Structure 1
Amino acid sequence: MALTSPPLPVSKHDKVIPGYHFVCAVLAIAEPRGVSVHKLLRGTGIFDDAITPNLRVSGKQLIALIGNVQSYCKAKDASFLIGKHLANALLNHEFSSIKDAGSLTQVIRLVTTQRWLCLPLVSFARYEVNENSLWVARDAMGCSKIWPFVMQISLSMLVAFAKASSKTRLPFHFGMTASRPRNIEDFETYLGLRLNFNAPFMSLMLPKGSVLAPFERGNVGGEAQHGSFVEPEIGTHTSSDATLSILDKVRLLTEHNLHASLPDAAAEFSMSAATFKRKLKEHEYSYRALTEEVRREQAIVLLAMKKLNNEQSASEMAFSDLPNFRRAVKRLTGHTPSELRAL
């Protein structure tokens, strides 16, 4: 099944997401729990007779669908069940070769390059922290209030992918911004016991060895034992922008130029500043909110996790003087640099 090239980058309104498996996963979990198809599809612009393998939906439609599930399906583990069901559907179809991946690196590459199939609403920023690889989750489409529910779906799916390929449960550590929930057993069942609540951001972390090491059935070269791992031919994109949403692109621009102004960013999209602001508002963000999110993330990683000193952190964050650096860190995180290092 070949996908047509989406606009670059993808907006919340672009119908480029292969929605069949996602919609079917939602229906499979919600309907047996008493939620009608009519309720689930209400306000989404998705019609039941259009739910075919060729279905394409937008981020806005998918957000509306997930919002309905969260509102009407009272099962506390619904998000995790949807994620697991979605993973199983993809493993039986487009992602069947993931079971033969020789290492987690291959799994990550597949999931990243084909993110519109499995992670249309989420993107990840990767950091190397001491002996660990850290992936910080970012809202790719403006999920707003349903963001925690979306993340639970996504993490459950990723754990299922990793387990299918490694044939074991890898030592993931998960960071959750919410307080410890009453249904902690559901989190432990689907994600494992290494859970950190009240975290500064949604994240998952693995020891670098687990990321790089070949799975037991793989050879030294990292290929599957019988050479059967092949990235499915479901996309023809070579540009990294093909897997970016507008919000992803703005964050990347901020990372590459921490002092870029709103007009600078608008010019990258060939838009006026006013049009660019309206476009971001459609995605539930402002330019300032996106840039501050990136800088807050950097400050926490550099100071609280890597334990770098002020001079090193200021250099990484492109501050030329320490007083401005300290004031910015305090404003972004609510903590001074020394307080972050003590966390």
Structure 2
Amino acid sequence: MTNIPMPPKSSTFASRPTLLGAYDKRLTAWPLAQAMIDVGVSQGISSASLLRGTGLFLEDVANGSSMSARQLSQLSMRAHKSIKNRDAGLQIGRMLTSSHMVGPLSLVLRCSSMEHCFSLLPQLRWGCMPLVHWRSYIHDDSVYVVPQNTFGVTEQWPFLVEIAFAWIVSILRQGTGKRFPVNIDFAWSRPRNIYDYEEFLGTRLRFDQAITLIRMPQEAWDTDFLMADNDWITTGMAPLKKQPMFALSEHVQDMLLKQPDITAAQIADSLAMSLATFKRRLAEHNMSFKQLSDDIQKQHALMMLQTCRANTQELAEAFSVSDTTNLRRFIKRLTGMTLTQIRDSMS
């Protein structure tokens, strides 16, 4: 069977992580919230208009008060709908490594490398980019970084990906002081403001792809950061390690990767909650167990095709499908595309 590249092992924590719900006010990503507000205000939109319906007040953001994922999601939706500038998300992402690089964000450029940065993001991201988490795959001399929808946001997902990708590309450029060739695939169509994308993300862009991801050379992943400071990292990470958190969707996907045939009831039991409570908590994330299971299988299949160029037999073996006809139906159900369409889009 094809040697499918797997994500790195999850980070270990000093104490048992806390399950973070969509309504739990535990997030400290106020620099991201402030960046959204500042871009909106620069376009003549009042902060009150952007914050309407979120349950947040300007003084909450200014004072660094904790917020919930639902509140941040609502703010991102307001920003996405209200700000007319097509490059707003890209601007916000870059601001997180410049004017708004405070709190946990100040740690990312002190990491030793891009690999080190991503190893810390499971703990850092609650104060940086809490609505997005990442899975990274290494194959041959390339690293593939795939954004994951942590709390089930819907229509503003491309907007959040723009923010996240602009942030990651800016970290790489500023951290290494180099402009490595970074390839970025988007699952949506080519935007009208392609020049904005090229300014913030580079020119190696593809649209209408089967999966959204960043691909960078292994050298970019391993290159030392110019401002690396282990003492700074140790001091900054200490309080985060004392109160680690995890999101339900991320935990479910991790378990499905380790044990593809695990059931919802088994995962609920591992979390010491009833099946009904487990389903309700997933619903708060706008998700279901079947959806998460399908998503992780879809990503697994697409990464086999993207990185290993897996053939039909290898895919059938990986997913325990008896014949090619059933495999083609299985792939079409997961992705909405035929194997031929997927391969053509990746060529």
The TM-score bracket by the shorter chain reads 0.7 to 0.9
Residue identity in the other structure for 1:294: I
In structure 2, what is the equivalent of residue 313 of structure 1?
A: 315
Instruction: Sort the Cα spacing of 1:289 and 1:55 in 2 relative to 1 into closer, same or farther, 3 A.
Output: same
Distance 2:343 2:84 in 1: 41
**Equivalences for 1:252-267 in 2 at 5 Å?**
252-267=254-269
Distance 1:314 1:334 in 2: 18
How far does residue 128 in structure 1 lie from its aligned partner after superposition?
2.1
Q: Write out per-residue CA displacement over residues 55-103 of structure 1, whole angstroms, 9 at most, x where no aligned residue.
A: 1011100011111111111111111111112222454554445445443
Instruction: Sort the Cα spacing of 1:327 and 1:113 in 2 relative to 1 into closer, same or farther, 3 A.
Output: same
How far does residue 337 in structure 1 lie from its aligned partner after superposition?
5.0
Distance 2:162 2:175 in 1: 20
Check the 8 A contact 1:83/1:155 in 2, yes or no.
yes
Distance 1:304 1:108 in 2: 21
Distance 2:235 2:317 in 1: 41
Out of 116-125 and 101-110, give the one that drifted further: 101-110
Which secondary structure does the structure 2 equivalent of 1:87 belong to? coil
Equivalent of 1:176, from 176, 186, 199? 186
Distance 2:230 2:301 in 1: 42
Distance 1:131 1:269 in 2: 38
Q: Write out per-residue CA displacement over residues 191-246 of structure 1, whole angstroms, 9 at most, x where no aligned residue.
A: 1111111112221111112212335x69xxxxx4x87663452454559x935311
Show structure 2 runs of 5+ residues with no match: 1-14
Instruction: Sort the Cα spacing of 1:213 and 1:83 in 2 relative to 1 into closer, same or farther, 3 A.
Output: closer
Distance 1:300 1:326 in 2: 13
Distance 1:25 1:248 in 2: 26
Out of 328-337 and 253-262, give the one that drifted further: 328-337
Distance 1:97 1:72 in 2: 31
* 1:119 maps onto 2:129 in alignment: yes
Show structure 1 runs of 5+ residues with no match: 219-223
* 1:105 maps onto 2:115 in alignment: yes
Check the 8 A contact 2:282/2:288 in 1, yes or no.
yes
Instruction: Sort the Cα spacing of 1:121 and 1:14 in 2 relative to 1 into closer, same or farther, 3 A.
Output: same
RMSD: 2.7
Residue identity in the other structure for 1:230: I
How far does residue 307 in structure 1 lie from its aligned partner after superposition?
1.5
In structure 2, what is the equivalent of residue 242 of structure 1?
A: 244
Residue identity in the other structure for 1:233: G
TM-score, normalised by the number of residues in structure 2: 0.85
TM-score, normalised by the number of residues in structure 1: 0.86
Out of 271-280 and 11-20, give the one that drifted further: 271-280
Check the 8 A contact 1:18/1:116 in 2, yes or no.
yes
Equivalent of 1:233, from 224, 232, 236? 236
Residue identity in the other structure for 1:19: A
Residue identity in the other structure for 2:318: E
How far does residue 27 in structure 1 lie from its aligned partner after superposition?
1.9
In structure 1, what is the equivalent of residue 33 of structure 2?
A: 23
Residue identity in the other structure for 1:265: I
Distance 2:146 2:337 in 1: 20
Instruction: Sort the Cα spacing of 1:242 and 1:100 in 2 relative to 1 into closer, same or farther, 3 A.
Output: closer
Distance 1:19 1:209 in 2: 30
Distance 1:253 1:263 in 2: 12
Q: Give the count of matched residue pairs.
A: 330
Distance 2:343 2:120 in 1: 35
Q: Write out per-residue CA displacement over residues 103-139 of structure 1, whole angstroms, 9 at most, x where no aligned residue.
A: 3223323434311111200011122233211111110
Distance 2:294 2:120 in 1: 30
Which secondary structure does the structure 1 equivalent of 2:286 belong to? coil
Check the 8 A contact 1:115/1:243 in 2, yes or no.
no
Distance 1:19 1:229 in 2: 20
Residue identity in the other structure for 2:286: E
